[in-house]
Amino acid sequence: MPQMLKVATVQFEPVIAEKERNVARLLELCEEAAVDGAKLIVTPEMGTTGYCWYDRAEVAPFVEPIPGPTTDRFAALARKHDCYIVVGLPEVDQDGIYFNSAVLIGPEGLIGRHRKTHPYISEPKWSAAGDLHNQVFETPIGRISLLICMDIHFVETARLMALGGADIICHISNWLAERTPAPYWISRAFENSCYVIESNRWGLERTVQFSGGSCVIAPDGSIVAVIDGGDGVAFAEIDLDAARDRRIGGEPLLRQRRPELYPELLTDTFSWNPYDFFGLYGHEKWPQGKVSRISAAQFAPGDDVDANIAKIAELARDARAAGAELVVFPELSVTGLNEPAKRAQTIPGSSTTRLAALARELSLYLVCGLAERDGATLYNSAVLIGPDGAITTYRKTHLTEAEQSWAIAGDGFVVADTPLGRIGLLIGHDAMFPEPGRVLALRGCDIIACPAAITTRFSTPHAGTQVAQPAPIPTGADPYHWHHFRVRAGENNAYLAFANVIDPARGYPGVSGVFGPDTFAFPRREAIAAEGENIATATIDTSNLDSVYPTNVVRRKDLVAMRKPHSYRPLIQATTGNY
């Protein structure tokens, strides 16, 4: 199997209901890509027909079976040029059910198809949710998976593809409502260490502005090739070995998963009114929530516990002066990063006693990281300490290779109910995995507090787009267009307070922040501590807003409610997989 592969993404503006025109133009663009040597060519969602259909009756003249006349035409082109093509089209099956589908076609004909499993608001007007879940197609050019637009909002879909050994996820879309390449696309490549070939349409259809930004994303989240607006083809040389290495920042993340901790991923808590679900039988009723301010503080902890606690106190006072009621500090902020086991603390102990006194003095919730000693056992832990002195301890469940030399992994996730809302805890490397944040969301967390000491690049800028967007969607340059932990917040409809170490000389970039529960809400409800020792403080709202059914997105959790957990079983199965 070739390790280097030339691929192409096609960007195209179809005209709704002009099927022959669209197919002919797509064949031209695919021929252009094939002649230039591309062995895998990806075209947009519903590219053969257009997208914004009113209902089944309107789209009915344009649906077709698979295989069918359109796939036959692309198969002839694939055979002619010995290449592989991904095409998006509306499918009808033998029972007259319509699907928004993608097909993978090769020189030998139809290889496989994917039916969109997680529908966007428009699909239920005419199509059914897909029933061909999580397939990985073995081909002579690599292991290829297909996803369609909204599918990639859900952490489970791309993760299932990666666990199945996918080298490349071909994501075809009609993406809208933000500047592209979309942060969700980048995070799915990054957290799964695989290539994403993104083919997005552009242009205006029935008042809907599509974003373009078709691209090829490398396993480290970098953009290898991109098209902003207009029809076109972009090429990239990809290295299958880079995907099969399955390392992120040097860490073998797929092998470090803890599937025994993930059984809740198969549950569907938000399929019921959460007012009824949480607190059922009088057990663990949701806290009422409120409008408050929370902070993420970044600094470089040293080897002196007293000095570290003094710095925590200084920054906590600054945050309290800015109105914060919760402050999150970096991983190991109490005991330091350098040989933390030497300064490991008991919980409770002298350090937590001092932090509790600070929390009481400032009427503040504090989240701090420390090396914990419990008898002869050491953990990388975080404590949530309230003004009343109550301590909630979380022991890091996903350890880096270096941490495994001194610490034992924790055995579960924790949440704590406070007047600010339900708070869940993660530590640094935990949040590089999509599963832990999802478990906390399913438990009804409003806020995820994440002390961190991460050196891997997790944020990139955007130079701006020429694609016009309706206000208030931004189109200009953005130094933090992709921030992986903003995506973590949005995909779980939770506030995330991410407090990272800032120490550029040692590779810690900071870029801490408080991120909002809806990544498509502009202007963004967030604050970022970009450079230096600093705090980022943002206003959050975890109140219920409505007494019958939550209208607040952090309480309603739309993206969590729209999951399809019946197809997620491989996420909790212990397997070595193709990684």
Question: By residue range, what is the domain housing residue 361?
Answer: 261-278+290-571
Whether the pLDDT of residue 520 is over 80: the answer is yes
Q: Is 557 found in the same domain as 426? A: yes
Per-residue confidence band for 577, with pLDDT thresholds at 50, 70 and 90:
low
| Inter-residue contact 443 to 422 (CB < 8 Å) | yes
Q: For residue 252, what are the contacts with CB-CB under 8 A and spacing of at least 6?
A: 246, 401, 579
578 lies in some domain: no
Q: Is 302 found in the same domain as 211? A: no
For the stretch 445-493, pLDDT in tens is 999 999 999 999 999 999 999 999 999 999 999 999 999 999 999 999 9
Sign, Cα dihedral of 240, 246, 251, 252: negative
Cα–Cα distance, 191 to 102 (Å, whole number): 23
250 lies in some domain: no
Q: Is 306 found in the same domain as 350? A: yes
Whether the pLDDT of residue 208 is over 90: the answer is yes
283 lies in some domain: no
For the stretch 537-575, pLDDT in tens is 999 999 988 889 999 999 999 999 999 999 999 999 986
Q: Is 332 found in the same domain as 184? A: no
Based on the number of CB atoms within 10 Å of its own CB, is 284 exposed (0-12), middle (13-18) or buried (19 or more)?
Answer: middle
Q: Is 378 found in the same domain as 414? A: yes
Q: What is the pTM of this model?
A: 0.97
Q: For residue 473, what are the contacts with CB-CB under 8 A and spacing of at least 6?
A: 177, 178, 179, 522
**What is the overall mean pLDDT for the chain?**
96
What CATH number does the domain containing 78 carry? 3.60.110.10
In the chain, the number of structural domains is 2
Please report, rounded to a whole number, the percentage of residues in the chain having pLDDT higher than 90.
96
Q: Is 458 found in the same domain as 319? A: yes
Q: 113: which strand partners?
A: 103
> H/E element holding 307?
helix 305-321
251 lies in some domain: no
255 lies in some domain: no
Q: Is 303 found in the same domain as 225? A: no
Please tell me the predicted confidence (pLDDT) of residue 2. Answer: 60
Q: Is 417 found in the same domain as 524? A: yes
For the stretch 399-418, pLDDT in tens is 999 999 999 999 999 999 99
Q: Is 430 found in the same domain as 560? A: yes
144 lies in some domain: yes
Residues classed as catalytic: 45, 116, 149
Cα–Cα distance, 87 to 100 (Å, whole number): 11
For the stretch 244-274, pLDDT in tens is 999 999 999 999 999 999 999 999 999 999 9
Please tell me the predicted confidence (pLDDT) of residue 576. Answer: 53
Q: Is 314 found in the same domain as 222? A: no
Give the pLDDT mean for 103-117.
98
Please tell me the predicted confidence (pLDDT) of residue 212. Answer: 98
For the beta carbon of residue 432, count every other beta carbon within 10 angstroms: 24
411 lies in some domain: yes
Give the pLDDT mean for 115-125.
96
Q: Is 294 found in the same domain as 379? A: yes
Choose the final residue of a domain: 242, 269, 301: 242
Give me the long-range contacts of 381-386 (CB less than 8 A, separation at least 24): 381/347, 381/410, 381/427, 382/331, 382/425, 382/427, 382/449, 382/451, 383/347, 383/352, 383/355, 384/416, 384/423, 384/425, 384/449, 385/352, 385/355, 385/356, 385/359, 386/359, 386/418
Check whether the bond before 181 is cis (ω within 30° of 0): yes
221 lies in some domain: yes
Whether the pLDDT of residue 84 is over 70: the answer is yes
Which tokens belong to 29?
């663009």
For the stretch 351-409, pLDDT in tens is 999 999 999 999 999 999 999 999 999 999 999 999 999 999 999 999 999 999 999 99
Q: Is 501 found in the same domain as 362? A: yes
Please tell me the predicted confidence (pLDDT) of residue 300. Answer: 98
> H/E element holding 26?
helix 19-35
